[in-house]
Structure 1
């Protein structure tokens, strides 16, 4: 499987595992090690996330020799089926839909809660989905406002950047809910196995706003006919485990908008992708719809 990393399903004496060959240049060695340390902690604490397997040296991260040397890691292969695919209707029906989102909210809150209580290992390093990482001069996923667009759309993106900059500054001034986040809990990264939920693919995890984590899951489900009920269910499940202040909840619309804009930055940073023009146009359409609905 090829996404940001190349992933193979391999069989070992201890069962099936995911062998990841990490994309060169995307993360530093310290950042890769930190991702593995975080997953190891969550697994020890009972969360159903990939568990890193140590090499004979005791290290989670190793170098594989070859024509193009690659850093590699080995993770437990988790059972389950992705909860859905982007741009396809969810296959769940009736009360199972809201139950699923309540469960996602509970598991996400538990992940944040465990992380808040964890002492980070020395040298811990992950990308930042903070104000600079979202709307600064060099965002983590690229400048969304620089995407090829009409003058009117460019003005819209510049305007929303200015508005979100002010809103984030105000939020930070009162003490934002901020810490380690998964940052990519989209449908493909939530595995469903009967009543069990498992989170996978921590590759984009980093330091960011907790509401951004919630917004990421919600964004990919906005076209569902019962999207408001799914949003309410996720928030209900989350706050049952970890409280959110009114000031945090008031930022949800802004973070849904910002999450939609990050995909424009992602597209802008991949000009050599032969399919990127069509994807960028789709990302822009979605972002404009989200802005109109959430930050008119």
Structure 2
């Protein structure tokens, strides 16, 4: 099984899958194949002679179905064509399909692989978060407007980021109770937080104005700035959820930043340039930030070998409990 292989063995295996997959597209002989990231998927930069590089993605075996991947590609295409938001555009293989399959006899598995055009741009300057978060909010509002009017394909199949899909009975990223460094005496606090989130979300509701297709990981790390153009990448986690969850995703890992309120205000200001944002939604921001924080905590617990999990160690647990206590103090009657 892939999960039982050593990290180095996993890298070597995925490299082999990527090399084999490239044969399924009509490309010149690559001059380089470099791993860019390994998280849910393995993402590679494909260097080619006398042309722009391409991006190859080897998908995890148990994360998305073929229909789910096709849905993602469809939405990215529609965002670019309908809303003018530049996104990664897939490239069809020799057989005319954007989704290719690579059979591995060694592990008796099939891997889906996709290839994308490279998007020019620079990551936002994070030395001052205010202006980048205004841009982030504005492009998120445009995406939400598009999502509200876009007809989902008949084969739609994506993750659902509702309460259960985040921190409830069927969490996409695992159980937050298994997060690294969580002390037994703090479990009760976070249980109370989870219960309060559930109550408030039930009252908030899932009307089409509030709940629909979202990116769900739209952070500065997934923006590219090219002149005055704001481009969006990494739609792998897109699915159904509250639109406010995209704001919570935007502040992932900076929830304890002392300047968080100003960052949120900047995001909301940018969002209102392109979409409506009610006072009731504004009041519920802490609920979604807290839910996202617990979701990230679960991810760290289910991805213990990830670089981010190693970097954060047990400190994330302490910050999560502190945020939880503040949330209870604010909303618990």
By how many angstroms is 1:167 displaced? Answer: 0.9
1:28 correspondence with 2:60: no
By how many angstroms is 1:276 displaced? Answer: 4.8
1:122 correspondence with 2:154: yes
Alpha-carbon spacing, 1:264–1:100, altered in 2? closer, same or farther (3 Å): closer
The whole-number CA distance in structure 2 between the counterparts of 1:192 and 1:295 is: 38
1:243-254 to structure 2, matched below 5 A, reads 243-254=276-287
Instruction: Find the counterpart in structure 2 of residue 54 from structure 1.
Output: 92
The whole-number CA distance in structure 2 between the counterparts of 1:114 and 1:175 is: 12
Alpha-carbon spacing, 1:282–1:192, altered in 2? closer, same or farther (3 Å): farther
Instruction: Find the counterpart in structure 2 of residue 6 from structure 1.
Output: 42
Alpha-carbon spacing, 1:203–1:145, altered in 2? closer, same or farther (3 Å): same
1:156 correspondence with 2:194: no
1:127 touches 1:205 (CA, 8 Å); kept in 2? yes
Deviates more, 1:275-284 or 1:209-218: 275-284
1:35-50 to structure 2, matched below 5 A, reads 35-45=72-82, 46-50=84-88
Of 191, 195, 200, which residue of structure 1 is paired with 2:233?
200
By how many angstroms is 1:162 displaced? Answer: 1.0
1:257 touches 1:295 (CA, 8 Å); kept in 2? no
Deviates more, 1:186-195 or 1:6-15: 6-15
By how many angstroms is 1:172 displaced? Answer: 1.4
Deviates more, 1:105-114 or 1:55-64: 55-64
The whole-number CA distance in structure 2 between the counterparts of 1:60 and 1:121 is: 16
Instruction: Flag structure 2 segments of 5+ consecutive residues without an equivalent.
Output: 1-35
The whole-number CA distance in structure 2 between the counterparts of 1:212 and 1:275 is: 21
With the length of structure 1 as denominator, give the TM-score of the two structures.
Answer: 0.87
The whole-number CA distance in structure 2 between the counterparts of 1:193 and 1:225 is: 30
The whole-number CA distance in structure 1 between the counterparts of 2:151 and 2:206 is: 25
The whole-number CA distance in structure 2 between the counterparts of 1:110 and 1:172 is: 22
By how many angstroms is 1:205 displaced? Answer: 1.1
Deviates more, 1:225-234 or 1:240-249: 225-234
The 3-state SS of whatever aligns with 2:86 is coil
Structure with larger Rg: 2
1:1-296 to structure 2, matched below 5 A, reads 1=36, 2-11=38-47, 15-45=52-82, 46-66=84-104, 67=106, 69-83=110-124, 90-92=126-128, 97-147=129-179, 149-172=182-205, 177-222=210-255, 224=257, 226-270=259-303, 276=309, 279=312, 281-296=314-329
Instruction: Flag structure 1 segments of 5+ consecutive residues without an equivalent.
Output: 85-89
Alpha-carbon spacing, 1:24–1:226, altered in 2? closer, same or farther (3 Å): same
By how many angstroms is 1:62 displaced? Answer: 1.0
By how many angstroms is 1:294 displaced? Answer: 4.0
Q: Deviations over 1:173-192 (max 9, x none)?
A: 77770011111122321223
The whole-number CA distance in structure 1 between the counterparts of 2:120 and 2:140 is: 19
Q: Deviations over 1:144-201 (max 9, x none)?
A: 1344632321111111111111111111177770011111122321223343322111
Instruction: Find the counterpart in structure 2 of residue 87 from structure 1.
Output: none
The whole-number CA distance in structure 1 between the counterparts of 2:201 and 2:118 is: 38
2:90 touches 2:117 (CA, 8 Å); kept in 1? yes
By how many angstroms is 1:126 displaced? Answer: 0.4
The whole-number CA distance in structure 2 between the counterparts of 1:175 and 1:78 is: 31
Deviates more, 1:9-18 or 1:141-150: 9-18
